[in-house]
Structures are given as C-alpha cells and as structure tokens.
Homo-oligomer: A and B are copies of this chain.
C-alpha cells in the first residue's frame, strides 16, 4: 500500500504552503514571511498551518533546505545539458547556471546567501550540511572534468596554514585533487557568490549596466585558471 489519499493531500498542502510563502517573499521581501499572511493568501486561518509546521521557524528551515536542493538540482541539470565529451563545457554551463538560478529565484538565493528572515534562528548543523553538499557537487564536477582533460593546472604556492586546512577539508569530504585546485574552487565559489549577490541586490548596476557580461567573462577566466582551454566566444 502506497501513501494514503489523506497523506497525499497532506503533502500537497505542505507544498502549497511553502509555495505561497515563496510567492509572498518574492512580492514583498523576505521580511514579509508570516503565518497570518500565508494563511490569508490560502483562504485559511493561521492556526490551520500548525497542522503542517510545528513552528514558524520550522517552515523557514524547510524553505531554506528546499532552496539548497533546488539550487543543486539546477546546477546538476545545467551540467547535463552539455555532452559528456565536452567536460569543460559542462563545467562552464554549471557555473553560468549558478548565476541564472539566483536571478530567477532571488528570494531563494537570498535565503541561502545570508539574508535572514527577521527573528529566525537557523539550525546550523542541518543547514551547514546542505551547504556542504553543494560544494561537494562542484568539487566532484571539477574533479571529473580534470580527469577527462589533459589540463595541467598552474601550481599555486600555498602557505603552510592554508595547506593544512585544505588537506583536512579534502580528507573530511573525500576530495581527491591537487590542493591548488581545491583552493581555486573554494575561492571561486566565494567570488561567484559575491558577484551574484551584488547583482541580485542591485548593488553593482549603478556601475555596470550588464553585470552578466562581467560574470561570464570571469567564469571563463576561472575555468582557464584550472588549466582548461576555453573557447573565446
């Protein structure tokens, strides 16, 4: 016997609550998330929501975890749009998808990238693990890309302290690549987040009318730093 009719209905409502929450935040900012507002938008009363989420913070946590998963799904999907015979293209497509997903889902991205909901106290263990899964995917993608190419990445001179930290990271998460590469991925992830956040929060537009052009250019030179050759256009 699969899930009962009642259970399916329950799951659907749970999803609808999250969807409405996202919609409200999209229209009025992450601060607009409130059980009353969600219930009102669903033609329910607010106590009804407690059938689905024990607490407001539980709802927020669910939204954040969903966002991590959706982001990861988008990156995976993007990587799969490019043939396996073009590993470098796969990597580049993934990096560009990072920005595109963020622009298409600014609220979810804001949730991930540090814009907290007022009063929300995140459960660090749970959220940290979700974040690490994203990093794992990127690391593994880079790893398999490099394995399939003849790239010889430039050696980067790392300080002893940095070497030690990167080594312990590799051991913990099972990354099997030169430390220079791990370093480049870590820094690149941070850089991408910086550029995209500035675009999502409209901070860079006063300087540059099309930040995407900047991002795409930087993505290419990042891939090139890994030792891969990227077509110019």
> Measuring CB to CB, which residues of chain A are less than 8 angstroms from any residue of chain B?
29, 31, 113-116, 118-119, 124, 128, 131-132, 135, 156-159, 161-162, 165-166, 168-169, 183, 186-187, 190-195, 197-198, 200-204, 206-210, 213-214, 217-218, 221, 232
Contacts and interface: CB of A to CB of B under 8 A. Distances in A.
A173 to B, nearest CB: 8
Nearest to A29: B116
B186 A193 contact: no
A131 B203 contact: yes
A201 B131 CA distance: 13
Contacts of A200: 114
A52 B206 CA distance: 31
Contacts of A213: 159, 161-162, 165
Nearest to A118: B31
B114 A203 contact: yes
A214 to B, nearest CB: 6
B186 A214 contact: yes
Given A31-B116, A114-B203, A158-B217, 8 more contacts: A29-B118, A113-B197, A113-B201, A159-B217, A161-B210, A162-B217, A190-B194, A190-B195
Main secondary structure of the interface of A (DSSP, over half): helix
A162 B197 contact: no
A32 B7 CA distance: 39
A214 B194 contact: no
A7 to B, nearest CB: 34
A209 B114 contact: no
B194 A232 contact: no
Nearest to A206: B128
B201 A114 contact: yes
Nearest to A200: B114
Nearest to A209: B165
Contact of A187 (B169, B203, B214): B214
- Chain B CB count within 10 A is highest, among A29, A204, A207, A210, for A207
